[in-house]
Structure 1
Amino acid sequence: MDAPLEPVIIAEHGGLVVAERGSEVLVFDRGNGPSDITLFVLVVITLVFGGFGVISVFSDVSSGITSRPGLLGGVILAVGIVAAIAMYFCAKGIRSRRRRPLTAFIPVAVFDRAQQTYRDGGGAVIAPLDQVRFERRMQLTSSSPKLVAVTPYGERIIKRGNPFGGSIGDLDQVLNDVVHGHRG
């Protein structure tokens, strides 16, 4: 059996990818949300603990006094260094997921322009394509909007944005244009 063709990326933002494969418009979520948040927290810990640790150790060494405050500065610096190492591996994991082919991910949504259907990642038909539109909606628990597909049967969440790198950008407009043929 032939391997599925790799979809062509149309737009990407915050780990959410809109791609085309023949008559299908596919939406993939690379699943970077938790990793983006973890990376942000590790950056803050690295800067705060690493910065205070370097200043503390440097001031103790330059003054020639080694005491408990000097030991505490070394421990704070060590926490900063450990956070920096964890930050490196977290960023490496995000880059690794970004390099994986889209066929390694299950699509969150499939918009088949030939069959005029909107299907979920499992292949179940959700709605006729001409009755689907895409919107950004605010979330109660976040400053970032979510991307939803509005159908006659209700709204389906495609991606919940997060302020640490997982926002949805203008993918609502991109999807409306590409799925409904307004692409130039």
Structure 2
Amino acid sequence: MDAPREPVIIAEQGGLVVAERGAEVLVFDRGNGPSEITLFVLVVITLVFGGFGVISVFSDLSSGTTPLSGVIGTLILAVGVIAAVAMYFCAKGIRSRKRRPLTAFTPVAVFDRAQRIYRDGAGEVVAPLDQVRFERRLQLTSSSPKLVAVSPCGDRVLKRGNPFGGGIGDLDQVLNAVVHSYRG
């Protein structure tokens, strides 16, 4: 049995990929959201604890104050170093997911332009493609919008954007153009 053909990437934003494979438009989520938030928190911890730790240690060495302040400065610096190491591995994980082929991920949505249907990631038919449009909507818990497929059968969230991964960009416009302009 042949391996599935690798889709061609049309657009990518914040771990969400819009790709094309023949008459199908596939939407993949690389699942980077939690990792991107974790990476941001680790960067902040590294900068704050590492910066204060370095200043505390050098201040203690130059002024010769009590040994307790040097120990505290060293502990603060150690937290910053540990956060930097964790940050490195977190970023490495994000990069490795980005290098994985799209066929390693399950699509969030499949828009079959030849058969004119919208299927979910499990392959279940959701709606006729002519009745689907894509919108960005506000989220109550984030400053970034979410990407939604709107159909008479209900709204389906394709991706919840987060400010640490770049949000959803203009993927709503890309999907509207690519899905509805096919004349195969």
Question: 2:74, 2:103 → 1: CA distance?
Answer: 47
Find the counterpart in structure 1 of residue 78 from structure 2: 78
Question: 1:182, 1:24 → 2: CA distance?
Answer: 10
Identity across matched positions, percent: 82
The alpha carbon displacement at 1:67 in A equals 1.3
Question: 2:159, 2:139 → 1: CA distance?
Answer: 11
5+ long unaligned stretches in structure 1: none
Find the counterpart in structure 2 of residue 164 from structure 1: 164
Question: 1:166, 1:130 → 2: CA distance?
Answer: 29
The alignment status of 1:134 with 2:98, answered yes or no, reads: no
Find the counterpart in structure 1 of residue 108 from structure 2: 108
Flag as ranges the 4+ runs of structure 1 deviating above 3 A: none
Find the counterpart in structure 2 of residue 89 from structure 1: 89
Q: Deviations over 1:21-68 (max 9, x none)?
A: 000000000000000000000000000000000000011111133511
SS at match of 1:164: coil
Q: Give the alignment's TM-score, normalised by structure 2.
A: 0.97
Find the counterpart in structure 2 of residue 15 from structure 1: 15
The alpha carbon displacement at 1:163 in A equals 1.2
5+ long unaligned stretches in structure 2: none
Q: Give the alignment's TM-score, normalised by structure 1.
A: 0.97
SS at match of 1:108: strand
Any conservation in 2 of the 1:136–1:148 contact (CA below 8 Å)? yes
